[in-house]
Every structure is written in C-alpha cells, then in structure tokens.
Structure 1
Amino acid sequence: MAEDFNTRVIREFRENEGRVGPPFEGAPMILVHHRGRRTGTEHVAPLVFQQVGEAFAVFASKAGAPTHPEWYANLLASPDTTAEVGAEHRGAEVAVRARELHGEERDTVWEEQKRRSPGFADYEAKAAPRVIPVLLLEPR
C-alpha cells in the first residue's frame, strides 16, 4: 500500500531533523499532535508554522478548502498537546497549549504569513468567505 501524503511528510520530517522536500521544501515545519474529539485517537498533522516569539503560529488553511481541517476542531477541544518542531529546533518535541488568535492579533500574524509565503493568500482567496483560523501554540 502506498504511503499517503501526510504519512510521507511525517516520515521525511522525522528522518531529516524537521526538513522535508517538495512541496514544503525550505518552509518551517511542525508536527502537531492532537486527539480526535470524538474518538480519542491520537493524530499528527504536519503543518507550516511561523515563529512568534517563543510560540508557533499554525494556520487552518486546508489548502483553501471550504471547511476547517479536523486538527483545528481537535485542538480547540483539547488545547494541551505536544508538537515536534522543525529543522531550526532539530526536531525537538515540546509541550504546547493551543489558543486561537482573533482580531488584530490574528490579522498581524496572518498578514505576515502571506508575506512570507504567498501561497497562503491563494488559500485565503480560495476559502472565501471562510476566514482561515490562526492558532498559536505556546510552550507550557
């Protein structure tokens, strides 16, 4: 059976101290652990992140889909979790608490992400009228 996309990215991340190839080559990556809010099953989501102080901003873009990704709802339901941080941190695992950003705080981080990675502007246009949530994973 062929590896699915996320499984391949997770394997590549773990084998290369947080570095992955296309389509995320060169992007800061994080593996966010989360529990299914209905099943309790542990999942791992490979995501692009933005460093915000000591915290990590992640974006529930789902590549511009009309609905939020499952990991977003799972983190809102159980915000205390762990994350494996990318190459800049040598694949270290950290305990984090997720919190959703709103208003000016969200907009500042979101605009910076679009500046750093213009593909996120494409996701925003494609997802409209859905507003893409931004979560901050704060070390605890």
Structure 2
Amino acid sequence: MILTEIYRNVDDIPDIESYHIETAMVKSDDLLKSIQRVTTDHGNDYGIRLEDENQVLESGSAFKIGEKRLLVISVIPDEMIVVKPKNIDEMGVIAHLLGNLHKPVQVKDGTISLLLDKVVVNTLDKRHADYEIKQIKLDEPLKYADLTNGK
C-alpha cells in the first residue's frame, strides 16, 4: 500500500483510543524524505509518497490504512550533543564554530543540539563549553540554516 497523505498528528486525534495503531520507527533524517518504505511493528510494509509538498513528516504523523486503522510514524532516539552556552557571547562563538563545521542544529530554549560528532566534542572541549550527550527523540529533523527565506 502506498500512503500519499498525512491524516493528522496522533496528538491531534481526539478519539485515538478507538483506532488500531501500527507504528513504524524511522531515523530523524528520514523525516526529510517524501518517498520511503517503512515496516511496522506488525511486520507490514508500506510505501510513503507525499504528494503535497507542504506536508512534512514528523514524529506522530498518522496515515489512515483502513477503517479505524492508523500507521503512526515514531522517531528513533538519536545520540545528541546538547550545548548550554553560558551567555550570548558564547552562544555566538559556538554557533559560528558549528556553522564552520557545516553541522545541522536545533536551537531551542537557549541550547544548541546536534548529532554526536567527535570533531564537535573535541572543539567544545577546547573551548571549555558546557555540554552533555543525551539520547533525544527528535520531533523534526535537524536543519541547516536557511538564509533564503528569513528563518
């Protein structure tokens, strides 16, 4: 079966307990793919081909696969570096360094998160930056800075 349209996010379905749910585990990078094949926890294979370019996969994306049956996308946790800059100056320096290393990041609540990378760890250690390594389940894929649309 080829699924072409996201029904809703599982968190936004009010009567979710009335559905039979199959879950497909994907890597966070797979959220960027509009065409892919997934295998569910029930052993069923599905193809995903998002036809609407405005639809983007996220953790919890749900597809209808039958009457009161859903396929829900769940993201496998990634090993991530979470940097906690001490002040705005350190935030700027670390952001500049990570940009020079061409790493996709997530900036949220005063922290910078990115996939575990030994070069980044060594760089942060040399700068005596405060960071920790955690298993994190991303809701959306990490992104490179997009300077074309002002975001």
Work out whether the TM-score is over 0.5.
no
Higher strand share: 2
- Report the TM-score, using the length of structure 1 for normalisation: 0.23
The structure number with the bigger radius of gyration is: 2
- Report the TM-score, using the length of structure 2 for normalisation: 0.22
Higher helix share: 1
